[in-house]
């Protein structure tokens, strides 16, 4: 989940893995590919991606409803992100990016159909499905990561204001309950913003981090795999957010 496009082909094992050569257009992570096993290109990134799936099962497995796409979408993000980081192939990368759009679409549909008539809810579902589907096709045809990034950014900026609107104006909740809900919103947002900062440090300081990790050696070098921390922090934030949206809309 969440990639950019620096390339680094100088690692000794980069082209010696089961899934080599990497075909992903967004291959960036500057890790020592296949350094631990020939079966997994980026071990820490693949393992840390499982946080989404693990948290989806742990938080929601006892609380699933009949039509409950949000936990399923969260689970799929982890599953497909693991597939991408394990292989660095273009197909799994598309699946990984599609899973993010699917989670965004599920959140949009849940939030914007909340409190609406069945007819309006159906219109919302159609608009979200058409919009997401069109952007997904455009992304796959162009393989331009910016199409995906822009689509997901638009989704996020439609999701958070609607969430706050439902907390503050969408119901006659007592003030004390609104305060609790806003605190949950802030907790999720803080985790996601923190994750984004870590992601940017990883992007901007990749050469320095790579040199430090090389000096440290394994296993301590793994603690500076910031893309792994990005996975864990976004998994925690997304799980909190999904839980909040379920509390607001179900
Ligand atoms: Zn990732």
How many Å apart are CA 96 and CA 61, to the nearest integer? 22
Q: Is the pLDDT of residue 228 over 90?
A: yes
Q: Is the pLDDT of residue 153 over 70?
A: yes
CA 169 vs CA 1, 21, 44, 173, 229: distances in Å: 33, 53, 43, 9, 35
Write out pLDDT tens, residues 57-71. 999 988 878 788 999
126: nearest Cα among 151, 103, 144, 109: 109
pTM of the model: 0.89
User: What's the whole-number average pLDDT of the chain?
Assistant: 88
In CATH, the number for domain 43-249 is 1.20.1070
Q: How far is the CA of 2 from the centre of ligand 1 (A)?
A: 5
Q: How far is the CA of 228 from the centre of ligand 1 (A)?
A: 7
State the pLDDT confidence band at 223, using cuts at 50, 70 and 90. confident
Helix (H) / strand (E) containing 147 = helix 145-168
Q: Is the pLDDT of residue 234 over 90?
A: yes
- Before 21, cis peptide (omega within 30)? yes
241: nearest Cα among 170, 166, 175: 166
Q: Which residues contact 58 (CB under 8 A, 6 or more apart)?
A: none
7 is in an annotated binding site: no
Q: Which residues contact 221 (CB under 8 A, 6 or more apart)?
A: 212, 213, 214
Residue ranges near ligand 1 (ion) with Cβ within 5 Å: 1
Looking at the chain, the whole-number percentage of residues with pLDDT higher than 70 is 86
Region label for 171, one of left (φ > 0), alpha (ψ between -120 and 50) or beta (otherwise): beta
Q: Is the pLDDT of residue 9 over 70?
A: no
4 is in an annotated binding site: no
Write out pLDDT tens, residues 239-249. 999 999 999 99
How many Å apart are CA 171 and CA 79, to the nearest integer? 36
Q: What is the mean pLDDT of residues 101-114?
A: 97
Q: How far is the CA of 136 from the centre of ligand 1 (A)?
A: 18
Q: Comparing 21-30, 174-183, 205-214, 215-224, which segment has the lowest mean pLDDT?
A: 21-30
CA angle 211, 216, 217 (to 5 degrees): 100
The domain limits of the chain are: 43-249
Q: How far is the CA of 130 from the centre of ligand 1 (A)?
A: 26
Q: Is the pLDDT of residue 1 over 70?
A: no
Q: Is the pLDDT of residue 110 over 90?
A: yes
- Please report how the helices 90-113 and 145-168 are oriented relative to each other, as an axis angle in degrees rounded to 10: 20
Q: Is the pLDDT of residue 6 over 70?
A: no
Q: Is the pLDDT of residue 19 over 80?
A: no
Q: Comparing 27-31, 100-104, 218-222, which segment has the lowest mean pLDDT?
A: 27-31
Q: Which residues contact 186 (CB under 8 A, 6 or more apart)?
A: none
């Amino acid at each position: 989940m969440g990639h950019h496009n620096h390339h680094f082909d100088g690692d000794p094992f980069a082209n010696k893995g089961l899934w080599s050569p990497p075909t992903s257009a967004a291959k960036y992570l500057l890790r020592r590919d296949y350094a631990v096993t020939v079966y997994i290109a980026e071990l820490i990134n693949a393992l840390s991606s499982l946080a989404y799936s693990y948290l989806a099962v742990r938080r929601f497995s006892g609380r699933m409803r009949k039509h409950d796409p949000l936990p399923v979408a969260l689970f799929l993000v982890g599953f497909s992100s693991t597939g991408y980081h394990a292989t660095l192939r273009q197909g799994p990368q598309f699946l990984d990016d599609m899973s993010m759009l699917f989670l965004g679409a599920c959140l949009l549909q849940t939030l914007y159909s909340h409190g609406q008539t069945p007819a309006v809810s159906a219109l919302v579902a159609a608009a979200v499905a058409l919009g997401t589907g069109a952007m997904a096709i455009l992304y796959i045809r162009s393989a331009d990561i910016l199409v995906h990034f822009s689509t997901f950014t638009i989704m996020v900026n439609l999701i958070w204001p609607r969430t706050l609107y439902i907390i503050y104006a969408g119901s006659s909740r007592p003030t004390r309950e609104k305060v609790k809900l806003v605190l949950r919103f802030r907790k999720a947002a803080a985790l996601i913003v923190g994750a984004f900062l870590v992601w940017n440090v990883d992007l901007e300081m990749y050469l320095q981090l790579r040199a430090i990790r090389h000096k440290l050696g394994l296993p301590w070098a793994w603690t500076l795999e910031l893309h792994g921390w990005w996975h864990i922090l976004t998994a925690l934030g997304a799980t909190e957010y999904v839980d909040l949206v379920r509390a607001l809309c179900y």
